[in-house]
């Protein structure tokens, strides 16, 4: 990602990312991606709470960036690398198999919902307002409610079982899948960046010079590149 795409007010994230991003712990990486998705849900809830009168298009484009990049890549990692290895280790009769099947169905359902949500958020960001705030609010709340349930299930049931059941060879294979695919190796920078953008927005909304800040958001909207959320670090 070039420097020109760095967010306004961005801190030095290269230091903050730390050694955690280089640790070969694929389950830890999935947990970190869940933390990013919880941040996304909080952002989507803030957008919904602002309707019908307020719509922050810069935050909406950040949400679009994560919904288009990190989220589908995360689902692919689970479906192509994690779940198949977990199924092999727990055996056919284990109740976890039914849970994994439900989670894959939710991926399909939430994936379809996110396509519509991306379209609605991008249209509202282009217009600068939500033409149908009730519908957008309904879509936002439906998506983040479902995602929070989904992530909680995976964090409380699937990942602890994965830590218990997967062998060192399984974890090495998962790590190799991550390193040889286009999957991001770290979400820590994105988590810091989304928090920074939200806190900067809160400060800037109260600032008498907020017009200058909005022009930065407009530049971001025009470029379509808001924050380095989807880069492979």
Of the candidates 38, 21, 42, 5, the one whose C-alpha atom is nearest the C-alpha of residue 183 is: 21
Q: Which range binds Fe ion by CB under 5 A, 58-66, 127-135, 150-158, 225-233?
A: 150-158
- The rounded distance, in Å, linking the Cα atoms of 3 and 10 is 11
Please tell me what DSSP assigns to residue 94: -
Task: Write down the least CB distance from residue 146 to Fe ion, Å.
Answer: 11
**All residues at 6 or more sequence positions from 51 whose CB lies less than 8 Å from its CB, including other chains:** 130, 133, 134, 136, 137
CB atoms within 10 A of CB 115: 12
Site track 51-90 with Fe ion (rule: CB under 5 A), x = hit: ---------------------------x------------
**Stretch of residues binding Fe ion (CB under 5 A), selected from 82-90, 154-162, 180-188, 222-230:** 154-162
Q: Using an 8 Å Cβ cutoff, are 200 and 217 in contact?
A: no
Q: Which stretch binds Fe ion (CB under 5 A): 140-148, 151-159, 180-188, 220-228?
A: 151-159
Looking at the Cβ atoms of 55 and 83, the one nearer to Fe ion is: 83
**Which residues does 161 contact at the CB level (< 8 Å), separation at least 6?**
86, 90, 96
| Contact call for residue 39 and Fe ion (CB under 5 A) | no
| CB nearer to Fe ion: pick between 39 and 78 | 78
CB of 83 to Fe ion, least distance (A): 9
Burial of 200 (0-12, 13-18, 19+ CB in 10 A): middle
170 binds Fe ion (CB under 5 A): no
C-beta neighbour count of 152 within 10 angstroms: 12
32 binds Fe ion per the rule CB under 5 A: no
Work out how close the CB of 51 gets to Fe ion at its nearest, in angstroms, rounded to a whole number. 27
**Among 85, 154, 184, 228, interactor with Fe ion by CB under 5 A:** 154
Span from 8-16, 147-155, 190-198, 223-231 in contact with Fe ion (CB under 5 A): 147-155
User: Of the ranges 4-12, 119-127, 148-156, 185-193, which one interacts with Fe ion (CB under 5 A)?
Assistant: 148-156
CB of 77 vs Fe ion, minimal distance in Å: 8
Task: Respond yes or no on whether the N-terminal peptide bond of residue 52 is cis (omega within 30° of 0).
Answer: yes
User: Cβ 78 to Fe ion, closest distance in Å?
Assistant: 5
Structure tokens at 30: 């999935």
* C-alpha span between 205 and 1 (Å, rounded): 28
H or E stretch including 153?
Answer: helix 133-153
C-beta of 10 vs 118, nearer to Fe ion:
118
Binding site for Fe ion (CB under 5 A): 78, 154
């Amino acid at each position: 990602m070039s420097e020109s795409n760095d967010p306004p007010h961005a801190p030095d994230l290269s230091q903050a990312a730390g050694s955690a991003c280089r640790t070969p712990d694929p389950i830890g990486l999935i947990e970190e991606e869940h933390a990013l998705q919880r941040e996304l849900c909080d952002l989507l809830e803030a957008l919904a709470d602002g309707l019908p009168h307020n719509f922050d298009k810069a935050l909406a484009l950040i949400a679009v960036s994560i919904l288009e990049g990190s989220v589908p890549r995360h689902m692919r990692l689970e479906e192509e690398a994690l779940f198949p290895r977990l199924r092999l280790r727990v055996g056919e009769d284990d109740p976890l198999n039914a849970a994994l099947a439900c989670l894959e169905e939710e991926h399909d359902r939430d994936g379809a919902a996110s396509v519509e949500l991306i379209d609605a958020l991008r249209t509202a960001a282009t217009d600068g307002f939500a033409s149908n705030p009730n519908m957008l609010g309904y879509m936002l709340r439906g998506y983040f409610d479902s995602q929070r349930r989904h992530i909680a299930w995976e964090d409380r049931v699937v990942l602890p079982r994965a830590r218990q059941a997967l062998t060192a060879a399984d974890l090495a294979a998962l790590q190799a899948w991550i390193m040889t695919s286009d999957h991001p190796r770290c979400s820590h920078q994105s988590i810091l960046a989304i928090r920074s953008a939200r806190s900067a927005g809160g400060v800037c909304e109260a600032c008498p010079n907020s017009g200058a800040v909005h022009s930065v958001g407009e530049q971001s909207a025009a470029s379509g590149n808001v924050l380095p959320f989807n880069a492979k670090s």
